[in-house]
Amino acid sequence: MPQPKDLGSRLDQMTAWLDANCGADAWAITPSGIRGVVNDALAIYFLDATMPTAFVVPLVCDTEARDRGWDVSGPQ
């Protein structure tokens, strides 16, 4: 699956979703990966164990659908 070209804009969308759906104090993001290596890897921690699935499924499905050129705008 191709990765977003701009992590910054995607990160803004992700943190907005996390705040709205989990609450601002119910999740945390930290850098992930090998010490000293600069990359775009993130670790996201949730207080509620059900939230990771709710977070990942729409994110992955939406990104994959857009990459394939499918309309994911939803009902009007």
List C-alpha distances in Å: 26 to 1, 15, 34, 52. 29, 12, 26, 12
16, 27, 68, 73: which is closest to 50 by C-alpha?
27
Q: Is residue 1 part of a domain?
A: no
Where residue 6 falls among pLDDT bands split at 50, 70, 90?
A: low
16, 4, 24: which is closest to 66 by C-alpha?
4
Q: Is residue 17 part of a domain?
A: yes
State the pLDDT at residue 27: 94
Tell me the two tokens of residue 69: 């050129």
Q: Give the pTM.
A: 0.61
Question: Looking at residues 1-14, what average pLDDT do you find?
Answer: 67
State the pLDDT at residue 1: 42
State the pLDDT at residue 35: 75
Q: Is residue 73 part of a domain?
A: no
Q: Is residue 55 part of a domain?
A: yes
User: What is the domain extent for residue 61?
Assistant: 7-67
